[in-house]
A and B are shown apart, each in its own frame.
Chain A
Amino acid sequence: MIASGIIKGINGPVLNVTTRGNSGMFKMSEMVMVGEKRLVGEVIGIRSGSVVVQVFEDTAGLTPGQTVNGTGRPLSLTLGPGIIGNIFDGIQRPLSAIAKNSGLYVASGVHVDNLDTGKKWPVRVLARPGDVLEEGAVFAEVNETPAVVFKAMVPPGVSGKVRRSVSSGQHTIGETICVLETDSGAAYELKLSQRWPIRAPRPVKERRSVSRPLITGQRIIDTLFPVAKGGMAAIPGGFGTGKTMTQHQLAKWSDADIIVYIGCGERGNEMTEVLEDFSKLTDPRTQQLMMARTVLIANTSNMPVAAREASIYTGITIAEFYRDMGYHVAVMADSTSRWAEALRELSGRLEEMPAEEGYPAYLASRLSGFYERAGYVESLNGSEGSITVVGAVSPQGADFSEPVTQNTKRFVRSFWGLDRTLAYARHFPAIHWIDSYSEYLEDMTDWYNENVGPDFTGRRLQILRILFEESELMEIVKLIGADVLPDSQRLTLAIARVIRLGFLQQNAYHAFDAYVPFSKQLKMMEIILYLHEACKKLLSFNISMNALTDEDIFEQVIQIKYNVGNDEPEKLETYFGKIDGFYETVYQQHG
C-alpha cells in the first residue's frame, strides 16, 4: 500500500509531513510526489506520525494541507541508451525536454521522461532462447553514439534461462527484449533500460587494485602527479585559480571511454560552454565528437539545493552503469564543495547539531562514501572497467585547512593543489608542484616499466628534485637577489625556469599544446635533463654561468612546446643535437 501524508511545515526545501493514519509506511530514501504540482522529493527522516521530506524543486507556493504521496520505490535513475551525449538536471531529467516544456527557465513541477521512450534504437539482440544468463550478462547491444556501444545487461540479482527473445531491429527502451525464466520459475522481462536507486552502489564481482594511469595529455599531471584509472583525485583552489579549466581539460583529453561531467552548484555559462565546445571538438582517440562520449549533469548554482546534493550521486551511478559494461569512466565533479554546502544547508534546516564551520558531522562519511565508489573492478559479467573520480574543491578564502579540503584529502590519493600566486602570474595549469602529490606511482611502477621504460621514475624524480631545490633557493633569492648565488645554484634556477615555463606551463588554447601525448612529454623531460647535464659539465670546466646564459638554448628548449608538433617526434630528436652544438660552442669559446 502506497504511503501518503499531509504537509504540515515548510522550511525552504525541507518539509515536515504528517502521515495519514490509514496509509502505508514511508521508507527512508523513498521517492515522493509533493503537492498539487507533484514535485519530486525524497524521504530523509522518519518520526512516529510524521516524516521529513526534501524537495528537489522550488517550493514557492506550496501550502500546508497539500498531499504527499509515496511511490514505494527509492529515488532512482532510468539507466538505458540515450544517456551519453545528453544533459540532465540533478535528478536525471533531460534539460532539453524541460526546455521544450517550460521554455527559457526551469519551472517546477515539470514532468518529463528521464530518457526518450519513443526513440527506436537499432538493437542487436545477443541472447537466444535457451541461453542461461547470469546477473550482469549482456543480452543486447546498441550503438548509442558513434563512440559508445551500449550493452544491455541483466540487472544485478536476476538470473535465469531465456524463454524467448525478440529479433534484432528497431526497439524502444520500454519494449521487452528477452523474457527470462528465473530459478523460481517466474518470468522476468528484460528491457534495454533498468532502474537503479541513486544512493546504492552497483555491485561488482571484485575490486581490483589500480595498475595503470589515466593519461590526460597534461604534462604536470601525467608525469609528476598521475592519477590511476580507478583512482581518485582532488583539485582544490580558490576562485580564479583554474579548477574548472583543469576539469575541462581532463574531460576533453583524458583517455577514458566515457566522461561524466557533474556541474554541481557552478555557473550556467560553464555548462553551456562544455555543451558548445564538446559538440564541436573531436576526440583524438576515436575521431568522434567529444560529446559522443560525454554526459553532463547540471545543477547550476541557482537551481534547487536538494537536487545539488543528489546530482553527485546521479553522476556516479551513471558512471557505475557504464563501468559495468566494461568501460573506463572518468567522473568530473565540479565542485564537491557546493555539494558539501548543500549538505550543510539541508542539515541546518533540519536543525541538526553542526560540527566544524556549520557542516554536519557526517560530512566526512558522505565524502568517503562518494569517493569510494571510484575503483578498478571486475564487473558481474567478467569485464574490466573503472571509475576515476576527479573532484574540484572550492575552499573558502582559498584556505586549504577548511573542513571540505581536509576531509577530501583523507580519501583521495592524488592531490593537485592550485595556487593563487601562480594563477596571478598566469602560470596555468596553476597546480603547485610543492603542495601536490600522487600516491599512485608505486602501484603503477610495473606499467611504467613495461610501457614507458625503466628510466621514467628516475627522470621524474630528477625533475622534482630540481624544482624543490629551486623553491629552497628562492627563499634566499628573495632576500639577496639571484646574481650573488654560486654558478651551480644559478644553473638550478635556470633549469627550473625551463621546467616551469617549457614543461609545467601548458597552454589550453594552443592548437597542439592543449593535449600532449605521453611519449612527447617524456622526450621533453629527457631533453631538459640532457641540457642540465651538458650545463653541469660545462660548469665543471670553470666556465661561468653567464657564458651559458648568453646562448639562446634555454629559450629554444622552452619553446619546444610551441615549435614541435605532436606528430613530429623526429623534430624532437634534433634538440639533442642542438644541445650538443651549444656544448661545443661554449666549450670552444670559454673552455
Chain B
Amino acid sequence: MDYTGLNEINGSLVVLEGVSNPANEEIVTFTVNNSERKMGRVVQIDGDKAVVLVFEGTQDFSLKNTVSRFTGKPMEIRLSEEILGRVFDGMGRPIDGMGEVFAECTREVNGLAINPVMREYPRNFIQTGISAIDGLITLIRGQKLPIFSGNGLPHDQLAAQIVRQAALKNPTSKDGGSATEKFAVVFAAMGVKYDVADFFRRSFEESGALEHVVMFLNLANDPVAERIITPRAALTVAEYLAFEKDMHILVILTDMTSYAEALREISSSRGEIPSRKGYPGYLYSELASLFERAGIVHGRKGSVTQIPILTMPNDDITHPVPDLTGYITEGQIALERGLFQRGVYPPVSILPSLSRLMKDGIGEGFTRADHPDLSNQLFSSYAHVGEVRALASVIGEEELSENDKRFITYGRLFEEKFIRQNRLENRSMEDTLNLGWELLGLLPREQLDRVKPDMLDKFYKSKSAGDF
C-alpha cells in the first residue's frame, strides 16, 4: 500500500495516519521527491497511526513530498556463502561496487532467542597468542568477551591482533581446530571513524584474510538510526555462516557505545521515560538481544564468538553501557590508561578483567593442569601489588618490608614481561604459562596461597629480578 504525505516528523521518526493494518516492526520504504529512496521500520502502532523510524534520517522529508510503502515484511538480509569478502553499509546494502548478493536464502535480521536446551556449553579455548588473555582471561570458542576501552587506547589494535593470531593464522592450533575447519570474521562498525574502519580493512588485508571477512560499515557520519540495524545484520550473517555453513565465526562489533547512544537518541525523540543517564529502560534487553547471539548449539559444527568493543565514557566502568554489558557478556577485557601511558601494550587492566567461561575450558585436558591455580595466583598476587604500591606511595619504597619489596618487583616485571608484548608477537600457551611461573618465582613460596602444594613442588622455582 502506498501513502502520500506524512502527519508528523520528529528527528528520525515519522508518523503516518490512516494506515490500514500496519504490522509491528514492518519495513516501510519512502520515496522522497520522486527520486530519493529511504527505508524505515514501524516501531509503534496506535490504531491506524503508525510511528516509523527512518534509518537514513529524515533530511529532505516534508509532510507532502513523501510516498510511503508498507512492505508487510520485517527487515531481512540476503544470504549465501558468496557474502564472504563483501562490504556492506550499515543496512546491509553492498557498497563495494560488486552488486547485490546472489541470495541462497533471506533471514530476518532481528533473529530469535536460541533455545537454552539447544545450546552446548562452550569449552574449547582459542589461543590468541596474547599472554594477558590466554593466561588470565582465556577466550573460549562461542564466548562473548567485550573489550572495555577508552578513547585513545589501542583497542582496535588489540582486536586486530586477536583476529590475526586466533582465527585466521591458527587453523591447526591446539584448540581442537583442524585444517578442515573454516574460519571467518564478521566485522560491524557502528558510528566509528573512517580511519578505524580503514585500519581494520588494511589489517585484514595484510593478514591475507580479506576474502574471509564480511564487513558492515556504519561510519560516524552515517545516519544514526541505521546503527540499530548494523549489528543485527552482522549477527544474522554470523549465525547463518556458523549454524548453516559450519564455520567458526569471530564477530567484532565496534563501538557499542555509539550503538547505545543511537538507541538513546531515538528513545528520547519518542518521548520515552529515561532510566539512567537518559538511556532507555530497555537498554539491557536491547544489548542482550545482540550479545546472546553468540554460542555453540547442538548438532552444528560452527560457532559464533563475539568480541564487542566499547569505549567507556570518561573511562568509567560504572557508566550504564559498560555496566549493563558486563552483566550480559561472559566477562570482559578491560584496558587501562595508566598502563598505556607507561608504554605497555596491550594495556590490559588485569584485575577488573575476567573470562567467565575459562574455568571449564582450561586445565587438564584443555591447556595444562596448573593453569587454573597459576592464573588465580597471578591475579591474587597482582591484587596485593596494588596494596603495596599504595603503601609505598605513603611511606616510600625504601621503608617497605623485604616481603613487600618482592611484590613491587613482581608487579613491575609482571607488567613489563607478561602483559607487555609486541603487536606481532604470538606466544604459545606453553610459553605464557611458563612465563607466569617464572614471575611467581620472584615471590616467596609461602605467599603463594592459591596453588596446591603438589603444583608448587612441580613448577615453583625461586627467581630474582636479575634473571629477567
Contacts and interface: CB of A to CB of B under 8 A. Distances in A.
25 contacts: A9-B44, A58-B112, A59-B24, A59-B25, A60-B74, A62-B23, A99-B117, A103-B115, A238-B326, A239-B326, A265-B288, A268-B292, A269-B142, A298-B116, A301-B291, A302-B285, A341-B281, A348-B281, A358-B276, A358-B281, A397-B319, A424-B351, A426-B450, A482-B401, A562-B453
Contacts of A269: 119, 121-122, 142, 295, 330, 357
A240 B25 contact: no
B399 interface: yes
Contacts of B47: 8-9, 64
Contacts of B285: 265, 301-302, 305, 341, 345
Interface in A329-383: 338, 341, 344-345, 348, 351, 354, 357-358
Contacts of A480: 394-395
Given A16-B46, A301-B292, A397-B318, A559 B453 contact: yes
Most buried by B among A9, A98, A345, A483: A345
Contacts of A452: none
Interface of B: 21-26, 44-48, 74, 108, 110-122, 142, 243, 272-276, 280-282, 284-285, 288-289, 291-293, 295, 297, 300, 318-320, 323-324, 326-328, 330-332, 351-352, 354, 356-357, 359-360, 372, 376, 379-380, 383-384, 387, 390-391, 394-395, 399-401, 404, 446, 449-450, 452-453
Given A61-B23, A267-B292, A269-B295, A105 B121 contact: no
Contacts of B111: 105
Nearest to B349: A424
A329 B184 CA distance: 47
Given A239-B323, A478-B391, A555-B449, 14 more contacts: A11-B44, A60-B110, A63-B23, A99-B115, A104-B115, A106-B114, A240-B354, A276-B121, A301-B289, A305-B285, A341-B285, A357-B275, A399-B318, A478-B390
Given A61-B24, A301-B285, A426 B383 contact: yes
A276 B24 CA distance: 37
A67 interface: no
Nearest to A101: B115
Nearest to B25: A60
Nearest to A66: B21
A165 interface: no
Contacts of A552: 446
Given A8-B47, A16-B46, A358-B281, A64 B121 contact: no
Nearest to B454: A562
Contacts of B394: 478-480
A59 B110 CA distance: 12
Nearest to A508: B359
Nearest to B271: A351
Nearest to B142: A269
Contacts of B395: 479-481
Contacts of B452: 562
A397 B314 CA distance: 14
A104 to B, nearest CB: 5
B405 to A, nearest CB: 11
A87 B117 contact: yes
A463 interface: no
Most buried by B among A272, A509, A559: A272
Interface of A: 8-12, 16, 58-65, 87, 95-96, 98-99, 102-107, 238-240, 263, 265, 267-269, 271-273, 275-276, 298, 300-303, 305, 338, 341, 344-345, 348, 351, 354, 357-358, 394, 396-399, 420-421, 424-427, 477-483, 501, 509, 552, 555, 558-559, 562
B380 to A, nearest CB: 5
B449 A96 contact: no
Contact of A273 (B121, B372, B383, B399): B121
A31 to B, nearest CB: 21
Contacts of B272: 348
A239 B331 CA distance: 8
B115 A95 contact: yes
Contacts of B327: 239, 394
A302 B292 contact: yes
B198 to A, nearest CB: 32
A428 B147 CA distance: 24
A19 to B, nearest CB: 14
Given A269-B121, A552-B446, A105 B24 contact: no
A52 to B, nearest CB: 13
B120 A272 contact: yes
Given A87-B117, A483-B401, A338 B24 contact: no
Contacts of A104: 114-115, 118, 243, 297, 300
Most buried by A among B21, B356, B357: B356
B439 to A, nearest CB: 16
Contacts of B22: 63-64
A483 B404 CA distance: 11
A302 B318 contact: no
A127 B450 CA distance: 59
A59 B24 CA distance: 7
A481 B274 CA distance: 47
Given A269-B122, A302-B293, A426 B328 contact: no
Contacts of A338: 284
Contacts of B21: 63-65
Contacts of B331: 240
B129 to A, nearest CB: 24
A169 B45 CA distance: 54
A340 to B, nearest CB: 10
Contact of B318 (A303, A344, A398, A482): A398
Contacts of A103: 115, 118
A396 B379 contact: no
A303 B391 contact: no
A478 B387 contact: yes
A558 B330 contact: no
Contacts of B297: 104
B117 A426 contact: no
B415 to A, nearest CB: 16
B27 to A, nearest CB: 11
B105 to A, nearest CB: 15
A300 B116 contact: yes
A265 B383 contact: no
B399 to A, nearest CB: 7
A271 B115 CA distance: 10
B273 A427 contact: no
A62 B243 CA distance: 28
Most buried by A among B21, B288, B390, B446: B288
A63 B72 CA distance: 10
A221 B331 CA distance: 26
**Smallest CB-CB A-B distances: 3 pairs:** A397-B318, A301-B288, A425-B383
Contact of A105 (B112, B351, B391, B399): B112
A341 B284 contact: yes
A552 B453 CA distance: 13
A298 B293 CA distance: 16
B401 A509 contact: no
Nearest to A304: B113
Contacts of A107: 112
